[in-house]
């Protein structure tokens, strides 16, 4: 089986498919943990900082086969896939948080018909996320996070 090496160059975009830590693309000593859905612009500094003492980089070959061998599954995709890769996908806890936040924002819509339409759209959006919104309890998001809560 012949595999094609998939390389990136400065200026290319890569989309994160699973949580991964990479060197800071702006330089500096710190690494950055990226969450699913993040889009990273490849820079010369990022490529250089990702090299090990043998001159090898995990960004030298982003083919699916190479990533699976390195990390057990593909964690990066070449290109901007932000329209189809959402941060909350493939994680029911994140999906629940995203769902609750969107429902809260929709509940602030004054017009009852618009509010109902927004909530229906949200349920449709999260339909395949492994949630059952009809029996989920909803988190509350106070407008003032520092407001005191009554313990009644």
Q: Average pLDDT in the 11-24 region?
A: 90
**pLDDT band with cut points at 50, 70 and 90 for residue 15:** very high
Per-residue model confidence (pLDDT) at position 108: 92
Per-residue model confidence (pLDDT) at position 141: 55
Q: Kindly give, in sequence order, each residue whose CB lies less than 8 Å from that of residue 57, ignoring residues fewer than 6 positions away.
A: 47, 50, 51
Q: Which long-range contacts (CB under 8 A, 24 or more apart) does 104-109 make?
A: 104/138, 104/139, 104/140, 104/141
55 vs 145, more confident: 55
C-alpha to C-alpha distance for 55 and 63, rounded to whole angstroms: 19
**Which tokens hold the place of 3?**
């595999």
C-alpha to C-alpha distance for 123 and 133, rounded to whole angstroms: 7
**What pairs with residue 14 in β-bridges?**
40, 78
Domain ranges of the chain: 13-78, 92-135
C-alpha to C-alpha distance for 10 and 42, rounded to whole angstroms: 5
**Using one digit for the tens of pLDDT, what is the confidence trace for 72-129?**
999 999 999 988 888 777 777 788 888 889 899 999 999 999 999 999 999 888 887 7
Tell me the whole-structure pTM to 2 decimals.
0.66
Q: Measured between alpha carbons, how far apart are the two ends of the chain, in Å?
A: 67
Per-residue model confidence (pLDDT) at position 1: 46
Query: Quick one: what percent of the chain has pLDDT higher than 90?
Result: 34
C-alpha to C-alpha distance for 150 and 59, rounded to whole angstroms: 52
**pLDDT band with cut points at 50, 70 and 90 for residue 130:** confident
**Which tokens hold the place of 13?**
């975009």
């Amino acid at each position: 089986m012949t595999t094609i090496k998939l390389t990136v160059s400065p200026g290319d975009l890569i989309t994160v498919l699973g949580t991964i830590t990479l060197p800071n693309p702006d330089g500096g000593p710190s690494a950055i943990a990226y969450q699913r859905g993040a889009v990273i612009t490849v820079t010369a500094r990022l490529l250089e900082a990702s090299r090990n003492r043998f001159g090898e980089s995990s960004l030298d070959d982003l083919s699916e086969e190479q990533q699976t061998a390195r990390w057990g599954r593909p964690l990066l995709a070449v290109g901007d896939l932000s329209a189809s890769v959402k941060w909350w996908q493939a994680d029911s806890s994140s999906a629940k948080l995203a769902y609750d936040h969107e429902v809260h924002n929709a509940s602030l819509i004054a017009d009852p018909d618009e509010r109902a339409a927004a909530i229906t759209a949200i349920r449709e959006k999260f339909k395949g996320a492994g949630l059952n919104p009809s029996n989920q309890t909803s988190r509350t998001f106070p407008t003032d996070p520092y407001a005191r809560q009554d313990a009644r």
